Structure formats: structure tokens, C-alpha cells
Amino acid sequence: MTRVGVIRNAANPAGIAAFSAIQNAVRSLGVEVSPINVRDPHEIERSVAALARSPNGGLIVTQTASATLYRDLIIAVAARQKLPAVYGNRYDVTAGGLISYANDLLDQFRQAAAYADRILKGAKPAEMPVQAPTKYQLMINLKTAKALGLTVPDTLLARADGVIE
């Protein structure tokens, strides 16, 4: 892969930060990164189609409310354009996306419950540390991989937390 489109919400500071982090991460790999904004369905369609016109492209779909809103469209357009895509939410993979590597939401809910318990027992929220996710999940959709003509290495399948066949 030499080019990647990053689906993000440019109006959201988190979308801007995610795009910047991705640019920094792939800089040493020689991968061209371009933003794809999710303001409306037509923009998604046009931008993904433009990315697909050149070979060796793929998508990164950031975990934002806008990407969730247009989940079905993004998955359908990626499939129609034969673009591999990595998502920031496991539910995108169960909906037909190729692969996701994302924080484990159930684990985060458990952490939130522990936080609430500490607060109810008298801890001051302002004095409690911010916690980042500690558990991540790799999900792979083999049906989508097959439709894209991709073979997923056995070593990657062995590391996956979930595989859709």
C-alpha cells in the first residue's frame, strides 16, 4: 500500500488529531496520506472513488460519531471500490468492514464502573488519574477479505480476538 485515505471529521478536534497522528506514524513508511472528510454522503463517495482510481490504496476509518453515522455507506463504498479498510470500531467489522484494531469497549465500561465505585466511596474526581484504554481487540472479516481478493496470513488470524468467516 502506497496511499491511504483517512476518513475523519475535520470539524472535530479529535478528527484533526487522529489524522495528524496517522501522518506521523506512516511518514517513515513512505505512504501518502490524504484526508477524506465525512461532512456528507456525496463527499465520501467522491473522495473514496478518487482514491480508488490509482492502485495500491486503502482506507483508515477513524473512530468518530460521523464515521459511525455513515458506517454502512463507508463499508459499501470501500467494498464497491475494492479498497481494503481498517476501522476504529469492532462493530464496523461485524457490519462488513475488513479489519479493526480498537479499544475493548466492555473493558472500558468495567473501568468506568470501578471509577464510579471509587467516587461513591468518597474519592475526589479531580484527584483521580485519567485512564487510557488498556485492552485492545483485533477483529478480521474473512468474508470481506475474500471479496477483496486478499489472503490474511495465518499468523495474523492467530493473533485476532475475533474472526468472521
Q: In 3D, which of 135, 58, 64, 136 has the Cα closest to residue 97?
A: 58
Dihedral (Cα; 91, 97, 98, 102), 10-degree rounding: -30
Q: How far apart are CA 92 and CA 100, in angstroms?
A: 8
Would you say the pTM of this structure is higher than 0.95? Answer: no
Strand partners, 87: 61, 100
Q: pLDDT per residue over 97-150, tens digit each? A: 999 998 888 888 888 899 899 999 999 999 998 888 888 999 999 999 999 999
Extract the C-alpha cell encoding 96. Answer: 462488513
Q: Tell me: the pLDDT tens digits for 27-72?
A: 888 899 999 988 889 989 999 999 999 889 999 998 888 888 999 9
Say yes or no to pLDDT of 85 above 90. Answer: yes
Helix, strand, or coil (residue 27): helix
Does residue 13 surpass a pLDDT of 90?
Answer: no
